[in-house]
Chain A
Amino acid sequence: MATIGHNNLNAKLVLLGDMGAGKSSLVLRFVKGQFLEFQESTIGAAFFSQTLAVNDATVKFEIWDTAGQERYHSLAPMYYRGAAAAIIVYDITSADSFTRAKKWVQELQKQGNANMVMALAGNKADLEEKRKVTAEEARVYAEENGLFFMETSAKTAANVNDVFHEIAKRLPRAQPTQNPAGMVLVDRPADGARAASCCMI
């Protein structure tokens, strides 16, 4: 898989985080800054399909946004089931959103896919003067829990692409089994067209 010509990796990536932490702004900033195939989504900014080139392979992310309101929390497992990666987003100007992010991390560690690549993103890094969560605090937490951490700004685009690229690099290659609900390894060039046609029904 990792050695031959067309290395296409499909990866489901789920976005978790408090309402207003900027989950969808982050993704929008990411997909708008890309030059590779960007599949126009029919349902707003809640779902995106975006392909990234990493080293000798391409990773096609299917990005699933989730509703961050507390009342929808218990539904999250339906979304992160089978996900290859997760970005847990909080707002550096809100201590509550960081607490919430830590809850997500714990939940994913307990119930998520064991190989899931997790990123912690402290968003709204441009609002330094309103900061409530220090970068140090978050970094220590991330290290203790084996996630990678970046502070991002959907507004200035700082670190936004880096988060996605870093995830793409960390995704396990040559997965031996096909997980029907999550990562699907394909090496047929026509697959892109097929997936696109499915979305158009």
Chain B
Amino acid sequence: MENSEASVSSTATRTWHDFLERMRQPSATEFVKQIKNFIVSLSNNAPDPERDTASVQEFFSNMEASFRAHPLWAGRTEEELDSTGEGLEKYIMTKLFTRVFATHPDDIKTDNEFNRKSALIQQFIHPDHLEIQPIYRNETSWLQAQEELLKINTYKSPRDKLACILSCCKVISNSMFNASVSSNENPPGADDFFPVLIYVTIKANPPQFHSNLMYIQRYRNKSRLVGEAAYVFTNMLSAESFILNIDAKALSMNETEFVKNMESAQIVVSGLSGDYNGEHLQSQSGQSQSVSESKLKEVPSVSDLENKGASMLVMDEEGSEKFENFRYLYSKAGDLTVGEVEDLLNGYKQLVFKYACLAKGMGVPVVQPDAPGTQTSGETRDDGKKEGSGVAEPPPEIVIGGEMVDAPENDVQVEAVRVEGDRNDGVGASAHESPVTGEVASQTEENVEK
């Protein structure tokens, strides 16, 4: 596994250098001019996925035919020609990336939908829900597969992105194959493989997943999206489609159970404030209006959520104003009246109850605060205020904004990965190829400028 991956990336790097080397040959000037003109001409029109796809694919196939007929490639093997074609795809698509990746409103909408749905479902999904057989359950290798899939945002070329999907699938199937051998079963077929792929995809929830898939589908050279790569890619599209359409039946749940799970997940994910689901739960618990207000203050106080919230508050210039509405926050004990103490105690009890429920819902231990109760409630309020002010939504949008606005090659990738960073620290570091892409691409650019 490791070996094959290493060879994959070294092959890719060799392919890339080989392409650039050939484009520097004086006899390749004509090609360089054509490539440059193509990029300019495409960039002059308003983005249109369908038309852009057709132009790009046509350009790939025309250029490859020209390479084949050119003296520079005379006597070259099919593999060498193939490698030039790969280099061309990578060069063109790296240049067009910011223009064509995740720029269509429909794609962005589906990205957000997928992201939201996976974030909720990953809170409660269990291998049983997808009929994953017990012998094939291997959380360790599933985590590894998730990491492979999450690397998709560290690359810009369609081929490299596709390779992330392939390695994700390989990790899954290797582990399943080993499991089948040790339990004397036939090697796993699609009945076994596909549910695991869905599970891993939900857990990974890669940012801008739909856009990534559309990008591969549109801009991976069609003559190369064949064979096993086509099969694997179809599985990925199919898994995405399943996830986007997940309902109670898809997870063998009854409607009530599914709705309940989604609602609890929603609370965990966004630290729900006064929106529909919150009101709904509120009315069920039959508590008064003042409780509904106090609900704003509660949020899962898991340490990393806390840290995240704290740093966001620090960044927020109006952060201190957020505390002003909490009337007891700056009070001294001597200032409190008997009535207020009762009010505070009620608030405290509700807070502890919510904290315990949320911690349970997130699957983290309920920790006894070592500081006095009032301090705990104060801290929790901080987060609660922040989440209550609608911070839950922005993260995916920040990524999209980053991708679209900040053109600089590698920054974009880091930006995209950062969101998943806490779960997947290795990703940024293992983006071994991206710096090469940026650096050499600019070298070729110089040649193109000539």
Residues of A within 8 A of B (CB): 15, 19-20, 23-25, 27-28, 41-47, 49, 62, 64-69, 71-72, 74-75, 78-79, 180, 184, 190, 193-201
Contacts and interface: CB of A to CB of B under 8 A. Distances in A.
B260 interface: no
A78 B187 contact: no
Contact of B187 (A45, A74, A194, A198): A45
Given A46-B173, A198-B226, A65 B190 contact: yes
Contact of B191 (A24, A28, A180, A196): A24
Given A46-B173, A201-B162, A201-B229, A25 B186 contact: yes
Interface string B389-426: 00000000000000000000000000000000000000
B420 to A, nearest CB: 23
Nearest to B195: A67
A118 B226 CA distance: 22
B191 A64 contact: no
Interface of A is mostly: mixed
B237 interface: yes
A54 B84 CA distance: 35
B159 interface: yes
Contacts of B176: 44
Contacts of B234: 64, 78-79
A198 B224 contact: yes
Given A45-B187, A46-B193, A200-B8, 15 more contacts: A42-B170, A43-B170, A43-B228, A66-B194, A72-B238, A72-B242, A74-B245, A75-B241, A75-B242, A194-B82, A198-B224, A201-B11, A201-B12, A201-B163, A201-B166
B189 A24 contact: yes
The 6 closest A-B pairs by CB, nearest first: A24-B189, A65-B190, A67-B194, A199-B228, A45-B187, A44-B173
A24 B170 CA distance: 18
Interface of B: 4, 8, 11-12, 78-79, 82, 130-131, 159, 162-163, 166, 169-170, 172-173, 176-177, 186-195, 222, 224, 226-229, 231-232, 234-235, 237-238, 241-242, 245, 249-250, 252
B186 A47 contact: no
Nearest to A191: B78
Contacts of A180: 222
A69 B176 CA distance: 18
Contacts of B241: 75, 78
Given A197-B79, A201-B229, A43 B169 contact: yes
Nearest to B232: A43
Contacts, number: 124
B190 A23 contact: yes
Contacts of A65: 189-191
Interface residues of chain B: helix, strand, loop or mixed (majority):
helix
A190 B82 CA distance: 12
A82 to B, nearest CB: 9
A53 B242 CA distance: 38
Given A71-B250, A75-B238, A24 B190 contact: yes
Contacts of A78: 234, 237-238, 241
24 contacts: A19-B191, A24-B186, A44-B177, A44-B192, A45-B186, A45-B187, A46-B173, A64-B231, A65-B189, A65-B190, A65-B191, A66-B194, A68-B191, A71-B249, A72-B238, A180-B222, A190-B78, A197-B79, A198-B228, A199-B227, A199-B228, A200-B4, A201-B159, A201-B163
Q: Interface centre among A23, A62, A72, by most B CB within 10 Å? A: A72
B190 A67 contact: yes
Given A75-B238, A78-B234, A49 B189 contact: no
B170 A46 contact: no
B229 A198 contact: yes
Given A180-B222, A195-B226, A62 B79 contact: no
Contacts of B245: 74
Contacts of B11: 201
A23 B242 CA distance: 22
A45 B189 contact: yes
Contacts of A72: 194, 238, 242
Nearest to B177: A44
Contact of A199 (B159, B229, B238, B242): B229
B227 A23 contact: no
Contact of B188 (A45, A66, A198): A45
Contacts of B163: 201
Contacts of B166: 42, 201
Residue among A25, A28, A193, A200 with the highest chain B CB neighbour number at 10 A: A200
A77 B162 CA distance: 21
A32 B314 CA distance: 64
Contact of B195 (A25, A69, A74, A198): A69
Contacts of A79: 234, 238
Given A24-B189, A66-B190, A72-B194, A46 B231 contact: yes
A44 B234 CA distance: 16
Contacts of B227: 49, 62, 195-196, 198-199
A19 B159 CA distance: 33
Of the candidates B4, B191, B222, B224, the one having the most CB atoms from chain A within 10 angstroms of its own CB is: B191
B201 to A, nearest CB: 13
A46 to B, nearest CB: 4
Contacts of A27: 189
A23 to B, nearest CB: 6
